[in-house]
Structure 1
Amino acid sequence: MYGMVSHEIEVNVAASEAWKLYGTLQLAKIVGEGGLPDLITKVDVVQGDGGVGTILHLFFTSGMMISSYKEKYTVVDDEKRVKEAEVVEGGYLDLGFTLYRVRFEIIEKEDEENKCITKSTIEYEVKEEAAAAANASSLVSIQPMVAIMNLAAHYLIQNHNNNNNNRGF
């Protein structure tokens, strides 16, 4: 069984500014340092510098269906402003999923240079027997990605305003 869910948020910063956060390990650092204490307790960089092949180990709060998993960046495209990561160990794979991929895209808004759209998409594939047993589609929620995008938007706007204030604007 294959499925996909996505969500978009408009952010009042240029796409290039948003990509500086999404296209690096900075977003993982913000999330891992307590940015989402009700969702994620820690994010460790297992290997890599934020490029393709980087592996992160995410730890979730108790009470979540999944306690942790490792994900690997499979796409980091600075030109298209797209980053994809796939779960490579634990988490959804332990529940019978054969694919769990998260994609972040930063989309430039036409005619509005200081606005962009952040889009998150989750693609998943689960074995039929696991899907029936666990009601797999109910395990996949875009809400954690929405929480990360909201955290990122808040960070971007706050830093954008601070940078402007520091320039005397």
Structure 2
Amino acid sequence: MGVTTFTEEITSPITPIRLFKALIVDSKSLIPKLLPQFVENVVLLQGDGGAGSIEQVNFTKGNPFEFVKHRIDELDKENMVCKYTMIEGDPLGQNLDFISHEIKIEESKINSGGCICKMTTNYHGIGDFFAKEEDIKDGKDSAMGIYKTVEAYLIQNPNLYT
């Protein structure tokens, strides 16, 4: 099994706790609200939303993917860390067994009041398949689009998620 790892660090003017609450804790309701043209809904299939839970993201008609299922591996609200794994869905295709993600949001030492969002994604290939940057470009672009949409929403609504 080949594993390819990509990391990303994004700075934001949003406080760490606000971004964590919106992007991670309340994503099931916020993402479909902000991106109704892409995400129909997010359904909790198992658990209470914490570690061990499984949720399914259903995409709207006309999108290249129908759904994805994520297993929440860790949700540490105190340290603002979320680890989850895509265990089923169209983006895995024929070459990927699963995709694991870790998101950690921490206070920025440079941008007073802002934060740094650190994301690590591991693509676990089937057999000797290794994901290349061009293989996962659409997924990275989609994740960045979601992030930027949530960030813009929080900037426009400074009293939410405080």
Q: What range is the shorter-chain TM-score in?
A: 0.7 to 0.9
In the alignment, does 2:149 pair up with 1:148? no
SS in structure 2 at match of 1:110:
coil
Please report how far the alpha carbon of residue 161 of structure 1 lies from its aligned counterpart in structure 2 after TM superposition. Answer: 5.4
Instruction: Flag the structure with larger Rg.
Output: 1
With normalisation by structure 2, the TM-score equals 0.79
Alignment pair present for 1:120 and 2:134: no
Q: Aligned to 2:27, what secondary structure does the other structure show? A: helix
Instruction: Report how far residue 109 of structure 1 moved.
Output: 0.8
List structure 1 segments (4+ residues) > 6 angstroms apart after TM superposition.
Answer: none
Q: Share of identical aligned residues, percent?
A: 24
- Which piece of structure 1 moves more, 91-100 or 49-58? 91-100
Residues 1:16 and 1:150: Cα distance change in structure 2 (over 3 Å): same
Structure 1 unaligned blocks of 5 or more: 165-169
- Residues 1:13 and 2:11 aligned together: no
Tell me the alpha carbon deviations over residues 37-89 of structure 1, each in whole angstroms, 9 at most, x when there is no partner.
Answer: 45433222223332112211112345544321211110111232110111223
Residue aligned with 2:121, SS: strand
Residue 20 of structure 1: how far off its partner (Å): 2.3
Equivalent position of 2:101 in the other structure: 102
State the 1:158 CA deviation. Answer: 2.3
Contact conserved, 2:81 with 2:103, CA < 8 A, in 1? Answer: yes
Partners in 2 of 1:162 and 1:63 — Cα distance? 32
Q: CA deviation at 1:142?
A: 1.1
Unaligned runs of 5+ in 2: none
- The CA RMSD measured in Å over matched residues stands at 2.7
Please give the alpha-carbon distance, in whole angstroms, between the structure 1 residues aligned to 2:90 and 2:160. Answer: 38
- Cα gap change, 1:96 to 1:163, in 2 (>3 Å): closer
The answer for the alignment partner of 1:58 in structure 2 is 57
Deviation at 1:5, TM superposition (A): 2.2
1:167 is matched with: none
Q: 1:43 corresponds to which letter in structure 2?
A: V
Shift of 1:113: 4.4
Task: Give 1:163 deviation, angstroms.
Answer: 8.8
